[in-house]
Amino acid sequence: METDIHNQLLGELQTNLSRYLVYPPLARSRGWEGTVLLGLQVASDGRLDKIRVEHSSGYAVLDNSALNSLYRLGRLAEASTWLNGRGQDMQLPVIYRLIDN
């Protein structure tokens, strides 16, 4: 049950974050890629709290873009129905990859 909630939250975070995530133009022009591992807590009411970089991509511009995107998301409205009054600590990988056309 706990794993189901975790996976449901992770899926919602990834889906909702994609609305705000932008590949920074500087990183794109220089060919920078990487994965930022963000740590956060989803509070019992769905608010995203304690957002931080747990593992850097190696590029501050990618790390900051991932952080800012998650701050913009701010909350998962659906989460409060799944969490039953308890918060959930999470890790969210944000992957920046350039695709050749």
Give pLDDT tens digits for 20-35.
999 999 999 999 999 9
What residue ranges do the domains of the chain occupy?
2-96
Question: Would you state the structure tokens that stand for residue 87, as one six-digit string?
Answer: 């918060």
pLDDT in tens, 46-94: 999 999 999 999 999 999 999 999 999 999 988 888 888 888 999 999 9
- The fold of 2-96 is 3.30.1150
Tell me, yes or no, if the pTM score tops 0.85. yes
The mean per-residue pLDDT over the stretch 41-49 comes to 93
**Whole-angstrom distance, CA of residue 80 vs CA of residue 57:** 31
Rounded CA-CA distance 27/73 in Å is: 22
Say how far apart CA 56 and CA 41 lie, in whole Å: 18
